Structure 1
Amino acid sequence: MEKHSPDDRKWHLAAKALTDSLTPEEQAEWEALKDDGLFQEDFARVKLYWERLQALPYRQIDVENDWKIVMEKARLDQEEPVSQGRPWLRYAAAISVFLIASVLLWRSMRGNFSKNDKPFLTTIVAPTGSKTLVTLPDSSTVWLNAGSKVSFNNSFGTDNRDIALEGEAFFDVIRNKVPFNVHTDQFDIAVLGTAFNIKAYKDDDKATATLVRGSLKVKRANLSGTKDEILLAPNDRLTLYKGAAAPSKASFTVKVDQKINAERETSWKDGWLSIEGESLNEFAVKLERLYDIKIVFSEESLKDYRFTGRIRQLSLEQVLKALSLTSPVQFSIDEKTVTLSENEQMKSKYRSLQMP
């Protein structure tokens, strides 16, 4: 894998500028880049092609493929070979690794929602290696984490506000008389106006719902066929355990943690990689989705190491270096495969694995 240059930070900020998601601190960094004439020239070119995404069809949105279409147009219009000029296309493509997209659906679809329209389903996908910011027809916003998707029908925002989720998403819901419902394979969420995070990947052994503000009602079918309801308060996190703890779809184990740091738990949307008492095996799954890679363990015992903390979501190599500096874990990278193994020299000094 090639070594990432400091220019990656510029394009990380560029991605957030394109999606209007810069924090106050990042905004200051972005303003400072206005004096970088060469970068601003390249960014203006990327922004031009990025805006062409609005002309793409949005019945079925696949950010990864849409971005490839835009970048191919940029290559065709480029007069000189990339190798002879500044490598702006390579850094532009890196945007997809950090934030990738802001899909403003309501601008292109609001006029099409009526009771007379034939039913159709809109699906928005954030593939592995990317995140997606979506503005729904009711002006609510959704951050989709890597390997996630949401679906809703053409009456969303009028007759209903029902949305189906696979994966992880942060919702900031606009208050409306029409209830907002999120449906997953594990449970259903009902709200009016609130901000919350749901993590419900099909291949994970647990699913979580975390409330940041407002109120949240979690519903789950039980063995009798009725639904159990659990009310969450801000900074509550509900965890539903699957796998061995759930012998059938209607049988499950639920735990509610109170007074957690909900802002930290949802900081993935702001470019942080946070973990809390997670095993290295769980952390590896998160990295695989985030960077679109495959992680293999040379020793099974490595999977049981546990970590707590957070680091900036930078390049894969930087994250793995932070891991190796704080634990007896070393890594090697071969294209899109990462191999983790024990560092025998550090193993004797190992006491606890705390990432800064």
Structure 2
Amino acid sequence: MEKKILYRYFEGIATEEEKNFIHQWIEESSDNRKLFIRERIRFDATLLMDEKAIAISSKRIHLSRWMINTIKIAASVLVLIGCLHFFELYQQDKQYKKTQMVYVPAGNRSKLLLPDGTIIWLNSNTRLQYPLLFANGKREIMLDGEAYLKVAKSKEPFIVKTNKYNVQVLGTTFSVTAYAADSVFQTSLYEGRIKVFDNNMASVYLSPGETAYSQDGSLHVTNMTDSDEYRWTDGLICVTDKQFSEIIKIFERTFDIQIVMNDSSLSKLRYNGKFRILDGVEHALKVLQNDYPFVYRRNIDDNVIYIETKK
């Protein structure tokens, strides 16, 4: 940043283009904000000439006493305005470093509006960490769980970080499933374009209707098989050609209950259908009983459901 542009800004004679350039430069890093504050202090200090210096100058340029006092008052006001501005920048800098942690317990869902206007739905057993203000050209959040996002459009990339892979977008609609306690990672794109990458910068790009998932330590891309997976945001569990064992995991997370299968032969049976979360886990199991030959019993004391093949 050229000092002459900064001083034009301090003097109030900068063009709109220069003002926008300075504002953008300030937002780029904390070092830039510190330099801006330091130069502003220097600029204001030059205005606070002591009375003797002003008197000497006034003899040379024949300033009146009224004009001398006016200069001193104006300088004081500028310093006050500058201090208030510096305090505001300091407060903003503190806000940039503050983060908010949200946890959605099992059996619940939540909807949030992020600082940039992004809307995010959080599923059961999900943790989200995000800054109170996005700054320095970064929009980053930390996710442990499942989320559906409608990202606000911006020139700044929006990054969802997980313990497995990261997802980068500019403005789009997509879902992410990445529970730290589970080996599964999956992200599906509904609108726009996204980049999925890991810490080694290995990456894939998705187009609408595609899903990226992890298998054997690497990323794979396939066409989306279930466009209704995100419908948990509407209170529905939608499954398309899922194994019984996968459905049971969804029930455990959604209804905050442990389900034990005593017969492994059930685990690979597949199912298509929808369940209303509001109806509860037992209603969902009764629906499955129409297709699967199993019985179950629920132990209220330890909150466990035991499933076995029907005899």
What TM-score comes out, normalization by structure 2 length? 0.66
Cα deviation digits, residues 210-264 of structure 1 (max 9, x gap): 001011111124xxxx4122110111001112xxx2xxxxxx23221125443x1
Q: Percent identity?
A: 26
Structure 2 counterpart of 1:210: 188
Give per-residue Cα distances to partners, 1:155-184, cap 9 Å, x unaligned.
326742100100100011110122111001
Change (3 A) 1:118 1:309: closer
Displaced runs of 4+ in structure 1, greater than 3 A? none
Partner residue in 2 for 1:253 = 218
Q: C-alpha separation between the residues in 2 aligned to 1:257 and 1:195?
A: 18
Question: Which residue does the alignment assign to 2:149?
Answer: 171
Instruction: Verify: 1:338 aligned to 2:302, yes or no.
Output: no
Amino acid at match of 2:208: P
Q: Give 1:277 deviation, angstroms.
A: 3.0
Q: Cα distance, 1:197 vs. partner?
A: 0.3
Aligned residues: 219
For 2:108, the equivalent position in structure 1 comes to 130
Residue 318 (structure 1) shift: 1.1
1:309 aligned to which of 248, 255, 273: 273
- 1:333, distance to aligned residue in structure 2 (A): 1.7
Confirm or deny: 8 A CA contact 1:138 1:157 kept in the other structure. Answer: no
1:340, distance to aligned residue in structure 2 (A): 0.9
Q: Is the 8 A contact 1:119 1:153 kept in 2?
A: yes
Greater gyration radius: 2
Q: Do the aligned partners of 1:198 and 1:208 also contact (CA within 8 Å) in 2?
A: yes
Q: Which residue of 230, 250, 256 corresponds with 1:266?
A: 230
Q: Is the 8 A contact 1:235 1:261 kept in 2?
A: no
CA distance in structure 1 between the partners assigned to 2:91 and 2:233 by the alignment: 29
Question: Would the aligned equivalents of 1:279 and 1:306 in 2 still touch at CA under 8 Å?
Answer: yes
Aligned to 1:76: none
* Amino acid corresponding to residue 129 of structure 1 in structure 2: G
CA distance in 1, matches of 2:160, 2:209: 19
Distance change in 2, residues 1:113/1:185 (3 Å): farther
Query: Can you give the 5+ residue segments of structure 1 that lack an aligned partner in the other structure?
Result: 1-111, 246-251, 345-356
After superposition, the CA RMSD in angstroms is 2.0
Aligned to 1:75: none
Which of 176, 179, 182 aligns to 1:198? It is 176
1:236 aligns with 210
Equivalent pair of 1:219/1:228 in contact (CA under 8 Å):
yes
**What is the CA-CA distance between 1:116 and the residue it aligns to?**
4.1
Gaps of 5+ in 2: 1-89
